[in-house]
A and B are shown apart, each in its own frame.
Chain A
């Protein structure tokens, strides 16, 4: 796309650094919460106390000390559940995004470099996969594989590999025509070796940017599956299951929905801003 943004003022807000540091700060915060959950959480996230049900957050009348963000309809502390929920959210996003990235990028590299039949088969598979609504596909896969974190991670990888495959295929095709690839081949490198040692490092920035985006998507997918009660058991604190409970109790205890929603919102926004920021950071044309 032609660059016509030369007449836009360059404000500090559009600066790439700002776009990278702010989301990194939030993700760092969430990661710290996940790592040190037992030390930080004021209450036991699983402890039910029906005498303490639906306590409002600290700034409202009727709140109880130690229950900063209130309690849900079983008397469980909302803040502690959000802190423990960060563990599941980050674990799923890290493992699922990495699995998806390795699987999808490998297929993209093969399709883009070898072309021919490999490309035709992989591209047709991508077409078929793109015909499924992702959420429905995820729900169906988890139903087939059974609920649990493993199924959630497998479902994300099985659905979203196309995102990596499409982008990396296109980039590999561009890279494969570059002179450095020819010179490596003339120097006697085998095709597979050229792909791994010459092309892969050059598409790596795109893979990393996509990984960030994928981590945001994984957090959302896990929350959606928890929301429809298809992730891990509903006792375990996940942001999605808290949101589902909050949706049901919206007219009595809105805080059960609001606070996990803020955590989810900020995390998803951070990952996608980070992904977009990295994409622009690595792209010499957009820079």
Chain B
């Protein structure tokens, strides 16, 4: 039963990824503006254009073109960026670490913040504090990451300029990175100045991404905690003399966490999607910022590569969330 579930889920993932490839291919092919014309210097002859068309396979039928393109993608060949004149795979993988670091820090912030608010709300249930927290998280949830980012730019860029509002690391720091994981590499090489600078640059974009998710976690986890606190095992813990806070942290949290984690998994993809505009806002050198530049410069191979990478990332995360939920939830495991 379990094997069948996993197999069906894997199969739908493959179908989804294939569909994604078709959509990206069609979109980029119907885009106005001939990509070949953009690659040639001015004054190129018809013959030059025809030759380059043949090199890239643009003279073949659309179906053939799709198969050639998909074959390349499957071998890690995403073409060459028109504006940057480098392989798309190289460019995209070079920027991916920045976006991954940003999303991971944002996820940790959301978990910490949302978790704390949920525990406090459950502890103070039935009081004005709970109502206040509910109203705040409701309002925080309705405001998207883009607006949070702008608010942070105003507050920390103008009112209280303690944090840098653009870039990924202080340009004065002298270090040659071998990877693009600045935090990770800084920690490994014992360069705490690098870690500190990277984190202080990341705090505002990460906070913008984290706040809506934190509010969502706060609401759902609190609801689940309150349900758990009406169960017999928490009553038993209270009878045994545990304080209310200890009951929440030691008994209720463990059982309330699973549905929240399932939500976090799904919402994490939305958080990653939000990096596109938040990176732009904070001039953070990640994939999203590169994507918008690519669109503005009509660099179609680069756009194609970035969209595919994001889509693959989303699909794989959703798959992992579903599978881990299947394995973690005893009811589904034996179902």
Contacts and interface: CB of A to CB of B under 8 A. Distances in A.
B153 A247 contact: yes
A200 B314 CA distance: 33
Contacts of B147: 220, 261, 264-265, 268
Nearest to B303: A140
A92 B272 CA distance: 26
Contact of B153 (A127, A144, A223, A257): A257
A131 B142 contact: no
A269 B144 CA distance: 9
A9 B143 contact: no
A169 B277 CA distance: 30
B307 A135 contact: no
Nearest to A250: B157
A9 B131 contact: yes
A257 B131 contact: no
A143 B298 contact: yes
B32 A146 contact: yes
Contacts of B277: 135, 224, 227-228
Contacts of B154: 250, 254, 257-258, 261
A214 to B, nearest CB: 13
A82 interface: no
A137 B134 CA distance: 33
Contacts of A136: 273, 276, 288, 291, 306-307, 310
Interface residues of B, number: 59
B126 interface: yes
A269 B131 contact: no
A89 to B, nearest CB: 14
A250 B314 CA distance: 34
A228 B314 contact: no
Given A135-B277, A136-B307, A243 B131 contact: no
A7 B125 contact: yes
A178 interface: no
A125 B126 CA distance: 44
Contact of A247 (B28, B150, B311): B150
A132 B303 contact: no
Nearest to A7: B126
> Among B17, B32, B277, which residue has the most Cβ atoms of chain A within 10 A?
B277
Interface string B277-310: 1001100000010011001101000010011001
Contacts of A223: 146
A216 B17 CA distance: 30
B276 A140 contact: no
A51 interface: no
B167 to A, nearest CB: 14
Contacts of A137: 307
Contact of B142 (A14, A146, A228, A268): A268
Contacts of B157: 250-251
A2 B27 contact: no
B192 to A, nearest CB: 29
B244 interface: no
16 contacts: A11-B128, A128-B20, A131-B20, A132-B20, A133-B272, A133-B288, A133-B310, A134-B273, A136-B288, A144-B28, A220-B146, A220-B147, A224-B277, A257-B150, A268-B144, A269-B143
Interface of B: 12, 15-17, 19-20, 23, 27-28, 30-32, 125-128, 130-131, 134-135, 138-139, 142-144, 146-147, 150-151, 153-154, 157-158, 165, 223, 226-227, 230, 272-274, 276-277, 280-281, 288, 291-292, 295-296, 298, 303, 306-307, 310-311, 314-315, 318
Given A5-B226, A273-B138, 15 more contacts: A1-B223, A7-B126, A13-B135, A124-B19, A127-B16, A130-B314, A136-B288, A143-B295, A144-B30, A224-B277, A227-B146, A228-B292, A230-B295, A247-B153, A257-B153
Instruction: Pick the 9 closest A-B CB pairs, nearest first.
Output: A133-B273, A128-B19, A272-B142, A131-B311, A7-B126, A135-B276, A143-B295, A144-B31, A254-B158
